[in-house]
Structure 1
Amino acid sequence: MGLLIPGFDYRRVPVADGVSLNVAVAGSGSPLVLLHGFPQTHLMWRHVAADLAADHTVICPDLRGYGASDKPAAGTDTGTDATADAEGAAYAKRTMAADIVALARALGHDRFALAGHDRGALVAFRAGLDHPAAITHLACLDVLPTLDMWDVMRGTTAAVGFHLFLMAQPPGLPERMIAACPDDFFGHFLDLWAGDPGAIPAEVRTAYLDACRAAVPSIVADYRASAGVDVDHDRADRDAGRRLTMPVTVLQQDWGAALGYDAAAVWRAWADDLEHRTVGYGHFMAEEAPADIAEHLRELLAR
């Protein structure tokens, strides 16, 4: 299985037809699910999870398509094709969010707090909108909602998100290009986005690269869904006035200064009870400043 979070029990939990998630669980008390980002696995939460397990039941899954979780075939997941089955897209955030609600219920929790980083934050955001009765508190780390992300990614500054545009292309070319040099591709982001490279030690970096190398088609499918069906779902919710009704904490780098927008205002358009904080860490903040992130999450859970 590779690297594990010390002190956590590991199991495989079925969450949908033919899909089981690899999940690490420890602690007792009110449940908190932690969702990882790209290009990582549940290991990114190793420090924060160990801290929070002192007073919470902490649940750390690999998302579908990542790590040791199942990687179903993508099928049609663009959402923009008239023939696409948007609701059934294998890597729509709606589908991935349903996985997490099913996971928590399988572990005995009908209501739980949810925190996500990067891709995991998009899944958490969707879970908050689709399953408000299940999510007691929500934290999103260093991300914008999908619809807003595409709105601000324009002009020359959009070059920082070249991977978003690459993996949005139709099936075939992106997968072949990335599979030709996966360690270079995924390692680029581990290097570029780290404020403190030492926060990801060599053995963890190797684990991330090994996991990504084995998951190129599903990772691309996850990103491709965010250029189609996920946008459709966000836009429908915005048009309907749906909002996040639970307490929400957002921690972000100062993206607005670089891309020319007000990140807090973007999030206020979605959340009724919002605590938005600009932080000075790199993108991999749960690994770079785990004590701070754990404290932010404890403050959220106290609201």
Structure 2
Amino acid sequence: MTLTLSQAEYHRITVAEGVALNVAVAGSGPAVVLLHGFPETHVMWRHVVANLAADHTVIVPDLRGYGASDKPAEKDEDTYSKRVMAADIIEAARVLGHEKFALAGHDRGALVAIRAALDHPEVVTHLLSLDVLPTLDMWDILRGVDARVAWHLYLMAQPAGIAEPMIEATADTFFASFIDGWVSTPEAIPEEYRAEYLRASRGAVTSIVADYRASAGVDLRHDREDRDAGRTLAMPVMVIQQDWGVQLGFDARALWGAWAKDLDHRTLAAGHFMAEEDPAAIIAAIRELLGR
């Protein structure tokens, strides 16, 4: 059985030719869009939605290629570029009647959110990024033996047809290694949600790999073009991360500062799935950001 947000209404919204997103909508008021990460679905935001829906319209899609959203075949490098995935989100919100909104993303969803904020500053009013670096910086800081923490990035960066059959052969083991290895409080992801994430990911191997492959190619190029042009994030930005910069020998705040002038950068003593592990802290942070 597919898990849903009990307080939400569900919509299937066509955002591009042949692509429709599964979108949950809850509450009323100013719009906030929440984008999930890997290897999860939109229900990772369940605690946050329950709070924000009291005074906001909360829009929570499954990303293109994930969950119950469409998973188009990878026709070219743009099919799963963050630019195209960001355009999906802009269009979904527009169809729902929102020309402007605050945007929060975790993991892969944060990369989509960053691209949406860079490409559509007239639409994204506030940006929250949970536990990632921008694509350009991510690849720059991974080097030597320390890069083994991101081994999956290199696997899924390979040409089509290499990683996919490897992952499909051991899908549950592959995806569970991230769910179980990246959470510091396992009870934060109850068994029914863990099973949901495994089920959804098992059925989306090809599109998930395509999403990651784009980050080693077209997404990286788009970030470099923005950096060369001096393009930065125009809106208030909050970044919350684990303190893994210390372990990998880089200054995350400084890296983010090159992208966002109005930056609030924080670390949180939680695992990677912080919206589930410490939802109170994430809710408080979003509400604080919205007040800026």
TM-score normalized by structure 1?
0.96
Amino acid at match of 2:248: L
- Residue pairs, 1:285-300, within 5 angstroms: 285-300=274-289
**Gap runs ≥5 in structure 1:** 78-88
Counterpart check, 1:241 vs 2:244: no
Amino acid at match of 2:191: A
Question: Residue in 2 aligned with 1:56?
Answer: 56
Counterpart check, 1:210 vs 2:225: no
- Residue pairs, 1:17-56, within 5 angstroms: 17-56=17-56
Amino acid at match of 1:127: A
Question: Residue in 2 aligned with 1:189?
Answer: 178
Amino acid at match of 1:27: G
Counterpart check, 1:99 vs 2:99: no
Amino acid at match of 1:65: G
User: Residue 149 of structure 2: SS of its match in structure 1?
Assistant: helix
How far has the Cα of 1:292 moved from its partner? Answer: 1.1
The count of residues paired between Structure 1 and Structure 2 equals: 292
Question: Residue in 2 aligned with 1:280?
Answer: 269
Amino acid at match of 2:52: L
User: Residue 70 of structure 1: SS of its match in structure 2?
Assistant: coil
Question: Residue in 2 aligned with 1:85?
Answer: none
Q: Deviations over 1:1-43 (max 9, x none)?
A: 6111111111101111110000110101100000000000001
**Distance in 1 (alpha carbons) for counterparts of 2:92 and 2:264:** 27
Q: Deviations over 1:149-185 (max 9, x none)?
A: 0000111110000000000000111000000010000
**Distance in 1 (alpha carbons) for counterparts of 2:251 and 2:36:** 25
- Residue pairs, 1:133-152, within 5 angstroms: 133-152=122-141
**Distance in 2 (alpha carbons) for counterparts of 1:49 and 1:260:** 35
Amino acid at match of 1:147: L
**Distance in 1 (alpha carbons) for counterparts of 2:233 and 2:283:** 22
Question: Residue in 1 aligned with 2:65?
Answer: 65
| CA RMSD after TM alignment | 0.6
Question: Residue in 1 aligned with 2:79?
Answer: 90
User: Residue 209 of structure 1: SS of its match in structure 2?
Assistant: helix
**Distance in 1 (alpha carbons) for counterparts of 2:76 and 2:167:** 20
Amino acid at match of 1:3: L
User: Residue 295 of structure 1: SS of its match in structure 2?
Assistant: helix
Question: Residue in 1 aligned with 2:76?
Answer: 76
Amino acid at match of 2:19: V
**Distance in 2 (alpha carbons) for counterparts of 1:234 and 1:123:** 12
Q: Deviations over 1:254-297 (max 9, x none)?
A: 01111100000000000010000011010000000111101100
Amino acid at match of 1:198: E
**Distance in 1 (alpha carbons) for counterparts of 2:264 and 2:102:** 15
**Distance in 1 (alpha carbons) for counterparts of 2:218 and 2:9:** 35
How far has the Cα of 1:217 moved from its partner? Answer: 0.2
- Residue pairs, 1:146-161, within 5 angstroms: 146-161=135-150
**Gap runs ≥5 in structure 2:** none
**Distance in 2 (alpha carbons) for counterparts of 1:262 and 1:153:** 13
User: Residue 13 of structure 2: SS of its match in structure 1?
Assistant: strand
Amino acid at match of 1:33: V
**Distance in 2 (alpha carbons) for counterparts of 1:74 and 1:143:** 24
Amino acid at match of 1:165: Y
Amino acid at match of 1:134: V
**Distance in 2 (alpha carbons) for counterparts of 1:25 and 1:193:** 28
**Distance in 2 (alpha carbons) for counterparts of 1:109 and 1:272:** 26
How far has the Cα of 1:50 moved from its partner? Answer: 0.9
Question: Residue in 2 aligned with 1:254?
Answer: 243
**Distance in 1 (alpha carbons) for counterparts of 2:56 and 2:268:** 25
TM-score normalized by structure 2?
0.99
User: Residue 262 of structure 2: SS of its match in structure 1?
Assistant: strand
User: Residue 11 of structure 1: SS of its match in structure 2?
Assistant: strand
Counterpart check, 1:267 vs 2:256: yes
How far has the Cα of 1:76 moved from its partner? Answer: 2.3
User: Residue 271 of structure 1: SS of its match in structure 2?
Assistant: coil
**Distance in 1 (alpha carbons) for counterparts of 2:90 and 2:261:** 22
